[in-house]
Structure 1
Amino acid sequence: MPKLWNETIDAHRAAVREAILEATVALVAEHGALSVTMSQVAQQAGIGRATLYKYFPDVESILIAWHDGQLAGHLEHLTRVTASGGDAGQQLEATLEVHAMMTHEHHGPPWAAIVHGGDARHRQDAFIQDALRSAASSGAIRNDMTPEELANYCLHALAAAANLPSKAAVRRLVQLTLDGLRPKP
């Protein structure tokens, strides 16, 4: 029987899962997403291939799980920021600024775009749409477009934060994005 890494089965499983995620991200960063095999992941994580397959069917699934974990952390941070108070317009501004700063600071490796779709993108869109819906209801932003359209605008505009040279430039980008959301005179 293999030695448990932790005192409880649940803690052991969580530690093995984390080791798999870390090993995969390191290998993909070094070799590229298309070059990594499950055998390499198992070896890097210090587990057998059979154990690895109990957790994930393929490298893509591991990367998706890693990305979902990253996004969950970002969404928790956004939730804390928006729950800190202020009116709907201030909460929207804080939400967009946090999102833009995260994009600027942690835009991730090039392969992250491969897994940034589906449920992860849907949760991000829903969060931004809720903030936009509240701001539109309060009159802080325009209401002649759907929250879905406005969220699409915001997320695409703020994606530019990944290439900006400073936090000051990111803040200016957020203000420019907010200017596009202002109600028509």
Structure 2
Amino acid sequence: MPRISAGSLEEHRAALRRRIFDAFAELVGERGYDAVSMAALAERAGLGRTTIYHHFPDKAAVVVGFASHETERYVERLRAALGDTSDPAEQLRTYVRHHLAAGDELHVELTGPRVVASLSPDARQQIRAHVLAVEEVLRAIVVDGAAAGRFVVEDVHGTVALVHACLGPRHLPAGTIEAFVLRAVGATGPATTTA
């Protein structure tokens, strides 16, 4: 039986998974996804070669687990930031600002199209579910804004996709992107912040 290095077995497992995810992010950043092996992950995480397989059966499972972990953290922080207002335009501003500020934290290159393309259809579907979790937050803002008459939206699905497309260019000032997105949805009326 392995020695538990936390208060409970669950905490111990969570800590080991975080070490594996940190090692994964570092190694992919240094070598690229294709050059990362399970043995290298285990070594960087400070685990035995076989121990890593108790947590993840293969590298694809690490990618899916990493995406899940990152998405949960991101959505939790996003929802906390959005909790400060019920005004759809302010929520959309907050969403845009948060996404642009946290973009580097999302490690998109670690679960981006090239990596995802190398995964099985099942693993790709699991990754897509994490993207949908983030999109669902934006979808709710867009739907609420349209229902409140604050946004002019003819196609919710298209609007969500286009807003996310606007969040990609990192070389533009955040204020420019924010103003463009709000104009694109026809944000109307004064912003009212509620606590």
TM-score for both structures, normalised by structure 2: 0.81
Note if contact 1:100-1:158 (Cα within 8 Å) is conserved in structure 2. yes
Matches of 2:187 and 2:82, distance apart in 1: 22
Note if contact 2:42-2:48 (Cα within 8 Å) is conserved in structure 1. yes
- 2:164 aligned partner: 155
Report the alpha carbon displacement of residue 3 of structure 1 after superposing the two structures with TM: 2.6
- 2:16 aligned partner: 16
- 2:110 aligned partner: 111
Residue 51 (str. 1) matches residue 72 (str. 2): no
- 1:94 aligned partner: 94
Report the alpha carbon displacement of residue 135 of structure 1 after superposing the two structures with TM: 0.4
Matches of 1:74 and 1:124, distance apart in 2: 8
Matches of 1:107 and 1:73, distance apart in 2: 9
- 2:178 aligned partner: 174
Query: Residues 55-94 of structure 1 correspond to what in structure 2 (within 5 A)?
Result: 55-94=55-94
The residue type paired with residue 26 of structure 1 is E
- 2:121 aligned partner: none
Summarize deviations over 1:46-66 as a string: whole Å, max 9, x none: 222322111112122212322
For residue 130 of structure 2, the aligned residue among 120, 134, 142 is 120
The residue type paired with residue 57 of structure 1 is P
Note if contact 1:82-1:94 (Cα within 8 Å) is conserved in structure 2. yes
The alignment partner of 1:34 has SS state of helix
Unaligned runs of 5+ in 2: 117-123, 189-195
Summarize deviations over 1:69-109 as a string: whole Å, max 9, x none: 22222211221122112422222222222222222x54636
Any runs of at least 4 consecutive aligned residues in structure 1 with deviations exceeding 4 A, and if so which? none
The alignment partner of 2:109 has SS state of coil
Report 1 or 2 for greater relative contact order, CA contacts < 8 Å, sequence distance ≥ 6. Answer: 2
The alignment partner of 2:146 has SS state of helix
Summarize deviations over 1:97-142 as a string: whole Å, max 9, x none: 2222222x54636333135941111111111111100001111111
Report the alpha carbon displacement of residue 143 of structure 1 after superposing the two structures with TM: 2.8
Unaligned runs of 5+ in 1: none
The residue type paired with residue 64 of structure 2 is I
The alignment partner of 2:167 has SS state of helix
Task: Tell me the C-alpha RMSD between the 2 structures.
Answer: 2.2
State the number of aligned residues.
Answer: 177
Note if contact 2:25-2:110 (Cα within 8 Å) is conserved in structure 1. no
The alignment partner of 1:163 has SS state of coil
